[in-house]
Amino acid sequence: MSEEIRELEPKVLWNKFADLNAVPRPSKKEERVIKFMKDFGKRLGLETIEDAVGNVIIRKPATKGMEDRKPVVMQSHLDMVHQKNNDTDFNFDTQGIEMYVEGDWVKAKGTTLGADNGLGVATIMAILESETIAHPSLEALFTIDEETGMTGAMGLKGGVLQGDILLNLDTEEDDEIGVGCAGGIDVTATRTYTQEPITNEGESAFKIEVKGLQGGHSGMQIHEGLGNANKIMNRLLFAVIEDLKIAEIDGGSLRNAIPRESNAIVVFRSDKKALILNLLEALSKTIKKELKTMEPELRIVFEQTDMPKHVMPASVQDVIVKALYAAHNGVYRMSADIADLVETSNNVARVIVKDGAIKIGCLTRSSVESSKMDMANTLKATFELAGCTVEFSGDYPGWTPNMDSDILKVMVPIYERLNNGEKPHVAACHAGLECGILGQNYPDMDMISFGPNIRGAHSPDERAQISSIQKYWEFVLEILKHIPKK
């Protein structure tokens, strides 16, 4: 790992981030990072516990003179999204993240950086280790599996935490103070079919690749007009659906990442090869033109490939392609109450067609429970019309804004003082934060979310702004100094 990261300011934070990023920590495989965090707490001589689901809690007494302040929970999640470029040779299960500095940004070499939410974790570690930072009684809550189900937050029982205020360090805009977030639900459609053999006589097989898209966070960036590889691929297939047979589709990866790539293997009559390829090439140019501003690196490639042994029946591929075309992707409804807030959205995240089985995965988000279920049921109806079985899972609540929050009243003037009178953006976000879930068992806890500038989260373009982290670190230290009295 580059030593230049450890020389950045504030060194105490960046060194903890470098230590953390040396530990493999993909979602649902957090055993090593849980041990790492427990060893860290015990080495400091602090009370350290692991709960039944794997969350780690480390307690540190108040510094001298701060004993009369309200106890604070500082919370971040240990896991990270594991995404890499196709041409990057990297194993998230065994390797630490390879970082480098480019101008004012820290980036990773062809993979996600883990700044989401590793910078929050590193912040808390630096405060726990410090002997000079003033703070009230602290509980560090390091949750697991935030990125693929929030099972850590869901599994945290009531009565474990003792704090009155929770500082969630998982926001990605340094001028934003988060007071609410969206809930979410996974919508998964499945279907089987009997494969049909092909004769190879007078037929050609082609591989279609959609690649070069930016990808990104399926909540925070869903309104930006980024390309979705699954929807682009389906648009191509729909255009020539009567003249081809689908053998395989493999598009997208993670439920909470906008799909960057999709691959399909198709078969069509050789005597129609020129006609079909001309149609697809023309449509590809149209799509690239539509997306040229947001997706300048989009590539759509057609290559002849080995003939597959089986394809989907025409009747099945017809309804599946049409259902995917009809499936909503992107913003479904903007909030009528909070300016510029996406209320409800859907990400068509994963499409797999192979060996007689179809699986389509979507992540629906909303800050309004009824609207979330309306979107989910719209998808359910769409896919059931195509003969699929549809299941809902991973349902988690949103976090209702509290504009009368005591900690919010503390943080706003601190931000203004540190930033020459500039006002922070107090807002709800369209990402899934753990505050809504934690609030179910801790309804009286005063919660807030904030963090440094992180761009491209959930994609290999993820990067953290060095100057913003310096600004954020000063903000954190001032907040801890000014926690209200009990």
Sheet with 165-168: strands ordered across: 47-50, 56-60, 138-143, 72-77, 165-168, 446-449, 176-181, 425-429
**Nearest one of 76, 143, 151 to 395, comparing CA atoms:** 151
The rounded distance, in Å, linking the Cα atoms of 253 and 258 is 9
236/358 same-domain check: yes
The per-residue pLDDT string of the chain (486 residues; one tens digit each, 9 = 90 and over) reads 568 999 999 999 999 999 999 999 999 999 999 999 999 999 999 999 999 999 999 999 999 999 999 999 999 999 999 989 888 999 999 999 999 999 999 999 999 999 999 999 999 999 999 999 999 999 999 999 999 889 999 999 999 999 999 999 999 999 999 999 999 999 999 999 999 998 778 899 999 999 999 999 999 899 999 999 999 999 999 999 999 999 999 999 888 899 999 999 999 999 999 999 999 999 999 999 999 999 999 999 999 999 999 999 999 999 999 999 999 999 999 998 788 899 999 999 999 999 999 999 999 999 999 999 999 999 999 999 999 999 999 898 889 888 899 999 999 999 999 999 999 999 888 988 899 999 999 999 999 999 999 999 988 999 999 999 999 999 999 999 999 999
43/114 same-domain check: yes
The CATH number linked to 258 is: 3.30.70.360
264/241 same-domain check: yes
Helix (H, G, I), strand (E, B) or coil at 26: strand
Q: How far is CA 163 from CA 16, 67, 75, 160, 180, in A?
A: 24, 13, 11, 9, 19
pLDDT of residue 432: 82
Residue 6 included in any domain: no
| Structural domain total, the chain | 2
Q: State the CB neighbour count (10 A cutoff) for residue 28.
A: 12
Residue 2 included in any domain: no
246/115 same-domain check: no
Residue 5 included in any domain: no
Q: Kindly state the tokens that stand for 74.
A: 């500082």
Structure letter (DSSP) for residue 271: G
pLDDT of residue 2: 67
Helix (H, G, I), strand (E, B) or coil at 171: coil
223/345 same-domain check: yes
Helix (H, G, I), strand (E, B) or coil at 279: helix
Indicate the helix (H) or strand (E) that contains 274: helix 273-290
212/162 same-domain check: no
Q: b/e string for 290-320 if b means 16 or more Cβ within 10 A?
A: ebeeebeebebebeeeeebebbbeeebbeeb
176/190 same-domain check: no
Sequence-ordered strand ranges (E) for 388-424: 389-396
Contact 118, 147 (CB under 8 A): no
pLDDT of residue 75: 98
362/435 same-domain check: no
Residue after which a domain boundary falls, among 349, 381, 396: 396
The rounded distance, in Å, linking the Cα atoms of 484 and 486 is 7
Residue after which a domain boundary falls, among 365, 396, 427: 396
Please give the biggest Cα pair distance in the chain: 85
pLDDT of residue 119: 98
Domain containing residue 474:
11-182+398-481
297/388 same-domain check: yes
Indicate the helix (H) or strand (E) that contains 188: strand 183-192
The rounded distance, in Å, linking the Cα atoms of 100 and 291 is 30
306/191 same-domain check: yes
**Nearest one of 268, 264, 209, 263 to 244, comparing CA atoms:** 268
Q: State the CB neighbour count (10 A cutoff) for residue 86.
A: 12
Indicate the helix (H) or strand (E) that contains 142: strand 138-143
Q: Would you name the residues annotated as active-site residues?
A: 79, 146
